[in-house]
């Protein structure tokens, strides 16, 4: 707004006007016009600079408000002079209440305070130094923040404080953790899918092999049983014959052909043949079970009772010195076939005994822990054996894969167990324990109460 033009004669007494010529007055009036014009120009310039300053302040304020990173501007004594909306929202305080507050009041632990004090003790702070501290948010939780520390100087270049800019890492760490969990779940699902496809292909192959082997094995078993009966008859006949007085040439031929030794050895030979044929038949039956989904009666099964029955049978049968530590969980039922589930439990327990009992210097032990969480029950079988070699972990459920001595295992037990568990809608996995030994984890869906 322009200033009012003053009158050159307004404030002068009338007696002072006498004796002043007209040129002097004109010069005075001219000078006053110049001063007035200068005042008007200065006022207009001042108003323009004020408007520019307001625009700059509004621009800076909008930038600070839009920042998602927290900002702290403090003086040399560590007192907060300026903040932004992100910091106010994080700590749950207003900008006015934060001004003049020491930065250390926002820190969550002694280590962060020590880092801050070590940084402020530097006379010439390093440009762009990163300060790792923990802040305490509005809910009292610890929030890790990496603060970029920049020295703040005045127009003379003198250090007057610091500017701290950083982003809370809590959300980033949570997002990274969720991404890592999703990646691990995807890898497990991929491995599960590959294993299922491999099992399906092997199942079709094994079904054909089992069918082709079944008939000749049946002939062998039938013929061996007939040979046993024939052998018994021949033994009776020759025993009666040898009680007679035979000619000397027949007696010599009997000794030469070792007929007595043959008759004595024949039963053991037939028994060995029968045992081998029966073992082959058992393998074929295992192949058939592995390759086809056996439709047996499905009913509610109390899983704890199946585990306890399996422990009892294994200990009474082949592992009397086996120490099994059973931690029973709450009662729960699964939908399935009790016989098939018992076969799985016995197989896992027997395998644990075989692994832990391979070293005669220690007592074989197995810990079975049962936990029920939500809609599933989990059983952990952890033994004190040597564990599973890393190169074997991906193959333990493959058919015919075994690390046992020849004649001690067919390599079908775990693959059959894996298939049974899958048919029951569950999962079976293997891993090594950090303290040593192997752990098998069986998970089955439970029947809602």
Give the DSSP letter string of 123-166: SSPPTTEEEEEEEE-TTS-EEEEEEEEEEEE-TTS-EEEEEEEE
Q: What value does the mean pLDDT take over residues 428-447? A: 92
Rounded mean pLDDT of 82-96? 87
Confidence band of 277 (pLDDT split at 50, 70, 90):
confident
pLDDT in tens, 369-389: 999 988 999 999 999 888 888
Given the DSSP bridges, would you call strands 323-327 and 159-168 parallel, antiparallel or unpaired?
Answer: unpaired
Choice between 431 and 362, residue whose per-residue pLDDT is larger: 431
The C-alpha angle 22, 23, 28, rounded to 5 degrees, equals 100
User: In the beta sheet, which residues pair with residue 152?
Assistant: 161
Mean local confidence (pLDDT), 231-253: 83
Confidence at residue 273, expressed as pLDDT on a 0 to 100 scale: 82
- How far apart CA 161 and CA 125 sit, in angstroms, is 10
Kind plus residue range of the DSSP H or E element containing 81:
strand 80-83
pLDDT in tens, 124-149: 656 667 788 888 888 888 888 888 88
Beta strands in 263-398 (DSSP E): 299-302, 323-327, 333-336, 365-373, 376-383
Cβ atoms of 87 and 67 within 8 Å: the answer is no
Q: Let me know: does 221 contact 278? Beta carbons within 8 Å.
A: yes
Torsion of CA 268, 273, 276, 279, to 10 degrees: -100
The per-residue pLDDT for 249 is 85
CA-closest candidate to residue 335, choices 300, 305, 367, 364:
300
**Bridge pairing between strands 159-168 and 299-302:** unpaired
Identify the helix (H) or strand (E) that includes residue 221: helix 170-242
Q: Do the Cβ atoms of 402 and 183 come closer than 8 Å? A: no
pLDDT at res. 301: 92
Tens of pLDDT, residue by residue over 193-214, are 666 656 555 566 666 666 667 7
pTM, entire model: 0.41
148 forms beta bridges with 130, 165
- pLDDT on residue 353: 87
The tens digit of pLDDT for each residue in 22-42 reads 777 777 788 888 888 888 888
Spatial distance between the Cα atoms of 149 and 161, rounded to a whole number of angstroms: 10
Asked if residue 19 has pLDDT above 90, the reply is: no
Helix (H) or strand (E) holding 315: helix 303-317
390 contact partners, CB below 8 Å, separation of at least 6: 432
- Say how far apart CA 289 and CA 282 lie, in whole Å: 11
Kindly tell me if the per-residue pLDDT of 441 is higher than 80. Answer: yes
- 283 vs 343, residue with greater confidence: 343
Q: Express each pLDDT in 390-428 by its tens digit.
A: 888 878 887 777 766 655 556 677 888 888 898 889 999
């Amino acid at each position: 707004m322009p200033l009012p033009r003053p009158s050159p004669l307004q404030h002068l007494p009338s007696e002072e006007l006498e004796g002043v010529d007209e040129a002097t007055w004109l010069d005075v009036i001219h000078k006053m016009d110049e001063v007035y014009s200068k005042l008007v120009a200065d006022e207009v310039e001042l108003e323009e600079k004020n408007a520019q300053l307001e625009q700059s302040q509004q621009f800076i304020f909008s930038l600070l408000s839009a920042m998602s990173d927290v900002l702290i501007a403090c003086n040399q004594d560590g007192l907060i002079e300026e903040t932004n909306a992100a910091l106010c929202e994080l700590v749950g305080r207003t900008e006015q209440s934060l001004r003049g507050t020491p930065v250390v009041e926002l820190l969550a632990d002694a280590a962060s305070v020590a880092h801050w004090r070590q940084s402020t003790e530097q006379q010439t702070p390093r440009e762009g130094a990163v300060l790792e501290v923990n802040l305490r948010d509005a809910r009292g939780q610890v929030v890790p923040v990496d603060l970029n520390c920049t020295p703040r100087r005045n127009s003379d270049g003198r250090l007057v404080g610091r500017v701290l800019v950083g982003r809370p890492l809590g959300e980033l760490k949570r997002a990274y953790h969720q991404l890592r969990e999703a990646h691990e779940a995807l890898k497990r699902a991929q491995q599960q899918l590959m294993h299922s496809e491999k099992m399906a292909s092997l199942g079709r192959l094994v079904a054909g092999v089992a069918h082709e082997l079944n008939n000749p094995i049946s002939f062998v078993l039938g013929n061996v049983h007939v040979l046993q009966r024939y052998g018994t008859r021949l033994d009776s006949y020759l025993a009666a014959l040898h009680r007679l007085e035979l000619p000397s040439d027949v007696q010599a031929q009997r000794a030469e052909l070792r007929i007595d030794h043959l008759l004595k050895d024949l039963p053991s030979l037939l028994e060995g043949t029968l045992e081998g044929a029966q073992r082959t038949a058992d393998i074929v039956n295992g192949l058939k079970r592995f390759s086809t989904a056996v439709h047996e009666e499905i009913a509610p099964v109390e899983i704890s009772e199946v585990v306890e029955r399996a422990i009892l049978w294994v200990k009474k049968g082949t592992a009397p010195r086996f120490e099994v530590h059973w931690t029973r969980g709450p009662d729960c039922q699964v939908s399935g076939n009790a016989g098939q589930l018992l076969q799985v439990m016995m197989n896992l327990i027997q395998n644990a005994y075989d692994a832990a009992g391979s070293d005669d210097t220690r007592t074989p032990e197995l810990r079975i822990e049962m936990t029920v969480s939500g809609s599933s029950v989990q059983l952990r079988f952890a033994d004190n054996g040597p564990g599973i070699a890393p190169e074997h972990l991906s193959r333990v459920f493959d058919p015919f894969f075994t690390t046992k001595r020849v004649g001690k295992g067919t390599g079908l037990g775990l693959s059959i167990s894996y298939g049974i568990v899958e048919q029951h809608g569950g999962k079976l996995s293997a891993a090594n324990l950090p303290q040593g030994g192997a752990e098998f984890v069986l998970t089955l869906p439970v029947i809602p109460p």
